[in-house]
Structure 1
Amino acid sequence: MRQSLIALGLAVGAASCTPPPRPVPLEAGTLDQGPAWTEAARADFYTRDQGSQLMPAAWLMALQDADGQPFMRDRLARYGYLPNRDAPTSVLPVGFSLAGPPGGQMVGMSCAACHTREIEAEGRAWRVDGGPAFADFQSFLADLDRAVGALLANPAAFDTFAVAVLGNPPAPADKAALQQQVERWYRRYHTIIARSLPTPPWGPGRLDAVAMIFNRLTGLDLGPPPDYLIPANIRVADAPVRYPFLWNAAKQDKTQWPGFADNGNDVLALARNLGEVLGVFATFHPVPDPRIPLLGVNYVAQNSANFDGLLKLEDLLKRIGPPRYPFAVDQTLVAQGRAIFARDPAQGGCAGCHDIKPGAFRGFEETWATPIQDVGTDSREVNLLARTAQSGVLEGHMAPLGGTLKAEEPAVQLLGAAVFGSILQAPFATDLQRQGKLALAAPRDPRRMTAAVAAAKAPSLEGAYPAPQRAEAAAATPGAAYEARVMQGIWATAPYLHNGSVPTLADLLKPAAARPAEFSIGPAYDTTAVGLARVQPGTMAVLRTTGCEDRDSGNSRCGHEFGTTLTDDEKRALLEYLKTL
C-alpha cells in the first residue's frame, strides 16, 4: 500500500454540515487533575495503542462519505471526537491510535476516545481528561458502514479509492485483491451494524457497551472460518448507558454499571480492559487446537490485543485525578453543603452511598467500596446479564471457572472464556502465533500452561466476570441494582444516572416526574444547575426520556429520589459542595 504515516499529518477538507454550525470553537484550557497527570501522561493517553484494529489507515484516509466527501474531512469532529492538541497536524482525533509497520498501519480506538470531553461556560472551554465523552458513536458506526457500502456499490468510486490506496495505476491483481479485502471487511462489519444499532439511536455520550461487546465477540469471532460469523448471536443493542468517568476507576472494588465485575488489582484490570478491546474492533478468532493443554483452544493465534498497551493504559488511568472546579464557589454554602452531604440518605444526604470507604482487599492496593443497590432507576441494562449465545468454536472446551462450555451459554460466560484464555496464553503468544508449529507442544510448556491455568482459577481473577448462576440471579431479581461511585469530580460528568437520563445535578434533586422529559446534549455547561446547559448551540442532539411508567425503556429518568425533599436553600448548598469534590 502506498499510503503511509505521512498522510496522517495532512490537513483535510471542510467540516461537516450535518448539524447546525456551531460557534467558532473555544480554545480549551487545561484543568488541574492532580500532580501525576502531566502533559506527557496526557499525550500518551490520547494515542496509546491497545490493539484495536478498526480499519487499515490507508483505507480510512482514502475513504469518502456516501455523499462523496472525505470521511476524515473534519477529523471526526462532526461526531463529537476531539482534536489532539499534542499532535495538531494529525488527522486522527483523541483516542484514535495508529499501529503496525509502514504500509500496514491500522487505525484503532482506545478508551480516550470515549472518556475525554470538553465543557464550555463563562466564555471559556475546558478539556476534561477521563470525563465521559459527548461523542456520537452510533452515528460514526452507521456512517462508516454507509461509506464502505457506497464505495463497493460504485465501480468508479472504487477505482478512485484503489488509486489512493495502491498508487496510480494500481496493478489489476492488486486492485482485485483489495476489492476482496474490502468486501470481506464490509461483510463482517455490516452484519454487526445492521443487526445491532437501535432506533431511537443512543445519541451523543451514550452507547450500549455491554451488548456491543457481546455482539462483537459472539457474532463476529466464534463462528467457522473464513468469516467467523454467527449472525443469530447479534441482538439489537438497546440498553444505552453513559460513558463513566475514569478517575478513581482503578480503586473501585466493583465495576461495570450493574457492578457485576470484581475490580481492584492489575489482574482484574487487565480482564476488564481486555474485554473492552475485544469489543472495540480487536482482531480476535479463537482456534480449537487439541495440542493446547487444558484449554484446547488457541486464544492468541489471531488476537490483536496489545497487552503491553493495555497495562500501560491502566497505569495512565491511575494517574488521572478528578478535575478541580475552575469557577468561583461560595465557601459559606460549601460548608453548609458538606454537612448536608454527610447526613443519612433518608434525610437527603449522600455520604452513605458515595463517600470514600474501604472496599474489598484484592491485592496490594487499597480499594473503595462500590455499593450495589436498586434505587429505582432504569432496569434495561441489568437484563443483559442473562442473555445467552451460541458458543460456536468454544463449544465443548473449558469454561473459565471449570467445566465445559455447552452449545449455548450466557454471553458473559463466553466473554469470560475469551478473556481468561487470552490472559493465560499471553506469555506464550510468540510461540502460539507461529505458523506451522506450536512450541507449547514441548514438554516444559504444558507444565507452565497448567500452572498458569491453576493460578487464574484463584480468587484474584474468578470475580472478573460473573458465573452463570450469578448472572441469572442478577437478571431475575426484581428491579435493577447499579453501582454507587465515589463522587469526586461529579460536577464534570453530566448527564446523570447510569443511563444519562438527567441533565443536571439540580434536576437529580427533583422527583422523577419533575425532571426534564427531554434535553439537548452538548458541551455548554450550567454552573448554577451543575450540568448540561438548557441551550446547546449548534446541536440537534436531543435525548427524550421516559418516566417511571416505563422503567425498562433504557431511557427512563426514574429513580434515585434522594434529596428531593431538601429545601431550595439546602439544595443550593449541597450543589455548591458537590462542585468542590
Structure 2
Amino acid sequence: MKRKSRFWPILLGFTVLVAAGLYYVVRMFSVDLPDYPKVDKVTWLEQNWSQSQRGWMHHADQGTVTFSMPYEWLAALEQPTFTLTAGPPFLSSDYLDRFGFITADSSGLPVGFAHGGDLVDPKTAQPWVNPATGKPLTTVGLTCAACHTGRFTYKGTAVMVDGGPALTDLGKFRKASGLALFFTRYAPFRFDRFATAVLGPQADEKARAVLKKQLDKVLAGGQIEVDLDKKVAEKSIEEGFGRLDALNRIGNQVFSLDLERPENYAAQSAPVAFPHIWDTSWFDWVQYNASIMQPMVRNAGEALGVRAFINLTKSEQPLFASTVKVDTIFEIEQQLAGKQPTAETGFTGLRPPRWPSNLFGSIDTKLATEGAAVYADRCQGCHLPPVGSEGFWEQKHWTNENSAGERYLRVPIINVENIGTDPAQAQSMAERKVKLPSELGIDTDSFGSALGALVAKTAARWYDNQTPPVPAEQREIMNGNRQNGIQAPLAYKARPLDGIWATPPFLHNGSVPTIDALLSPAGERPKTFWLGNREYDPDKLGYLTDELKGGFKFDTAKPGNSNAGHEFSDTPGPGVIGPALKPDEKAALIAYLKTL
C-alpha cells in the first residue's frame, strides 16, 4: 500500500509536467485568432467603381511573392494545427477571414491576394520549376487591396469600403504561414501529402527530394528573418490588427534581406494604421509624414516591401532587375486617380463612401448644419474646406499646373511639436541610415533618399527592358508627371476629411478608436482598448473596443503608441489645437462629419 501511495503522486506529477509541456508547445506553435459571428448580408458601398473595376483591383498582380513561395505551394498547405490526418487547407476562406482577409465573391483567393504568372528569380533569371514535371510554378502575393479595403459589421450586415483601411493582422498571418511550412517539413505524414498535391501522385523519390530541398531553402530564408527580428525585438512594437510599420518593413526587406546586409535591419518601432487612399493620387505629398512625391516611387516601393523579388547582389544578372510589374502599378494608380479633378467634375477616380443611412440611420440634418459651423471654426484651418465646396477649389489650395497640365492638392503639413501626436513614424524616417555597396550607385546613407533612388532605378530597369524600351515621355506619364521628391520632415499631413467616418482607428498610429474619443481631451481617451472587433458604433464613429479573444490589446503607454496630441482642451500644452468642445458642439461636429 505504501508503494502504491507513493506511485500515484509521482504519476500525477509526471502527468502535470507532460500537460504543461504540451500546453507550452501548443502555445508556441499556434496562432491565437478571433472567432467572428457569421453575417447575414454583405454590401459594398458605391464609390464610383464598377463591379469589374473593383474585381480587377482586388486581385491586380503587382509582381509580389509575399510568402516566399509559389502559388502551388500555398494552395497545398494545411493550417498549422497538430494532426496526423490531413488538416484543413490553409487557404480556407473561413480561416483567412480570422486574420482579417475579406472573402472574394468569385475568386478562390481573398481580396488583396494576386495570382500571377511564372515565378522567375531575377538573381538567376531562372524559373522556379516543379521538380516532377519541369513546368514553371507561378507567383502569389499581396496587392494593394489587402491593406486598403475596409470592412465593418453592423447588426448582421458586413459593409465593405474600397480604399478604406483594412483590419488585417499581417503579423499573425506571417507567423501562421511560417508555421504551416515548418509543419509541412517536419510533422509526420504532412510532407507526403504536400508533395503529392504539388508534384502529383506519380512523382518519384528524386522529385520529392528536390522539393524537400526547395522547402528547406525557403525555411532557411525565413529563419534569417526570424533571427533578425529577435535581435531588434526590444525596440520593436507589436502592430496588431489594422496596423503596420510599413516604411521600416520596406527598408528591412530591401536594404537588409534583399541586399543581404543584416546590419541594415531596423526595429519595427513606428506602426501606423493602414491609411484610406481615396483622393491621395492628387496630393502633392503622400505618406503620413508627407515624405514621397512621385506615385511610381511610392507604389513600386510598396511592391518591393511586400516582397517582389529583386536582384541587388548578383553581378551575373542586371542589377535592379525585379518581378515588379510597373505597367500594372501604373494601371492601379490610374484607376484610383481618374482624371484631373475640377470644381465641375470633382474627383473622378475612387470616391469616399457615403454614410449608409439605410443601415446606420439618417443623419440629423439640423445638427449637421450646426456642425458645419464648428468644422469651419475648428477644423478647416488644417484640414481645408470640405471637399467639393467652393472654397476647396480655390487656387491657393492647389499647386500651379505642371507641363502635363496637372495640379495637385497642397495638403497642409503640421510640425510634430505643434500637433503633439506620437513622433515615432516621422523620426524613424528622418533618422534611419543604411549602408550600401558602391555597385548600386546610390551615394547617400539616408534611408528615405536611398529608398527613393533604389525604387527609381528599379522602375528604370523595367522601362529599359521592354521591347522597345519605354520612351521618355511615356515614362514621365507612368511616373505620375512628378519628380522623385523625397523629404523627411518631423511633421504629419492634415488631409481632407471626406469619408473620415469610415476609417477607424484614428491618428496616424491608430491609437484612438473612435472620432468621439478623438474630439475629447487626451486624458479622456482610452488608455488601452482592443483592436480586431469589426462591429461599428454609428454614434461614436469607430469600432467597438470590448475585449476580444484573439484580438490585439492596444496599450497607448508603449513607445510608438501614444494617443496624445490633436487635442481640444481648455488646458494649454503641447498638441492642444483649440479649446475643449462643448457636448453640443461635439455632437454637431460628429453629425457633420457623417455627411462628408
Counterpart in 2 of 1:436?
Answer: none
In the other structure, the counterpart of 2:457 is 421
Q: Which of 229, 253, 261 is the equivalent residue of 2:284?
A: 253
The one-letter code matched in structure 1 to 2:454 is A
Query: Under a length normalisation based on structure 2, what TM-score does the superposition of the two structures give?
Result: 0.77
- Find the counterpart in structure 1 of residue 332 from structure 2: 313
- Residues 397-434 of structure 1 deviation map (CA, whole Å, 9 limit, x = unaligned): 433xxxx35xxx22323322221112222222257xxx
Indicate conservation of the 8 Å contact 1:53/1:282, yes or no: yes
The Cα of 1:160 is off from its aligned counterpart by: 2.4
In 2 relative to 1, CA 314–153 (structure 1 residues): closer, same or farther, beyond 3 Å? same
Corresponding residue number in structure 2 for 1:202 = 239
Aligned equivalents of 2:555 and 2:548: distance in 1? 18
In structure 2, stretches of 5+ residues that fail to align are 1-29, 119-134, 338-348, 569-577
1:528 deviation in Å?
0.8
**Partner of residue 106 from structure 1, selected from 108, 130, 139:** 139
How many Å separate the matches in 2 of 1:134 and 1:308? 28
Q: Deviations over 1:135-164 (max 9, x none)?
A: 001100122122223333346432322121
Aligned residue type for 1:416 = G
1:31 to 40, 45, 56: 45
- Counterpart CA distance in 1 for 2:453 and 2:34 is 46
Residue 213 of structure 2 is aligned with which of 146, 169, 180? 180
Q: Counterpart of 2:409 in structure 1: which amino acid?
A: W
Secondary structure of residue in 2 paired with 1:94? coil
Q: Distance in 2 between matches of 1:455 and 1:489?
A: 31
Q: 1:332 aligns with which of 363, 366, 370?
A: 366
Give the partner amino acid of 1:286.
Answer: L
Q: Give the drift of 1:324.
A: 0.3
Report sequence identity in percent. 32
- Find 2:177's aligned residue among 121, 144, 160: 144
2:441 aligned partner? 398
Structure 2 residue aligned with 1:500: 510
Quick check: which has more Rg, 1 or 2? 2
SS of residue in 2 equivalent to 1:120 = strand
Q: Kindly state the Cα deviation for residue 491 of structure 1 after the two structures are TM-superposed.
A: 0.3
**Cα distance, 1:152–1:364 mapped onto 2, change above 3 Å:** farther
Residues 94 and 113 in structure 1, CA contact (< 8 A), matched pair in contact too: yes
Rounded Cα–Cα distance in structure 1 between residues aligned with 2:586 and 2:44: 29
Paired with 1:39 and 1:459, the residues of 2 have a C-alpha distance of 26
Distance 1:277 1:368, change over 3 A: same
Does 2:69 match 1:52? no
Question: Judging changes above 3 Å, is the alpha-carbon distance between structure 1 residues 455 and 246 closer, same or farther for their aligned structure 2 residues?
Answer: closer
Q: What is residue 562 of structure 2 aligned with on the other side?
A: 556
Q: What is the DSSP-based 3-state SS (H/G/I as helix, E as strand, rest coil) of the residue aligned with 2:567?
A: coil
Measure the CA separation in 1 of the matches of 2:465 and 2:336. 26
Does 1:217 pair with 2:251?
no
Give the letter for the 1:410 counterpart: S
Matched, 1:162 2:195: yes
Q: Does 1:232 align with 2:238?
A: no
Cα distance in 1 between the residues matched to 2:95 and 2:113: 10
- Residues 75 and 83 in structure 1, CA contact (< 8 A), matched pair in contact too: no
Describe the superposition over 1:447-479 as per-residue Cα deviations: whole angstroms up to 9, x where unpaired: x99x79x989x996544333xxxx4xx4xxxxx
Do the aligned partners of residues 193 and 576 (structure 1) sit closer, same or farther apart at CA in structure 2, a change above 3 Å counting? farther
Corresponding letter in the other structure for 2:560: G
Decide whether aligned partners of structure 1 residues 381 and 85 sit closer, same or farther in structure 2, where only a CA change above 3 A counts. Answer: same
2:154 aligned residue: 121
Per-residue CA shift, 1:156-184, capped at 9, x if unaligned?
Answer: 43232212111124222322222222222
Aligned mate of 1:388, from 433, 452, 472: 433
Quote the residue 2:422 is aligned against.
378
RMSD: 2.9
d(CA) in 2 for partners of 1:196, 1:369: 38
Alpha-carbon distance in 2 for matches of 1:60, 1:306: 21
Change (3 A) 1:58 1:160: same
What runs of 5+ residues in structure 1 fail to find an aligned partner?
1-15, 223-228, 263-267, 291-296, 432-438, 440-444, 475-479
User: Aligned-pair distance for 1:493?
Assistant: 0.2
TM-aligned CA distance change 1:537 to 1:235, over 3 Å: closer
**What is the TM-score normalised by the length of structure 1?**
0.79
- Give the superposition deviation at 1:299: 3.9
1:28 CA drift (Å): 1.6
1:507-546 alignment runs, 5 A limit:
507-521=517-531, 522-535=533-546, 540-546=551-557
* Number of positions where the alignment pairs a residue of Structure 1 with one of Structure 2: 498
The residue type paired with residue 82 of structure 1 is I
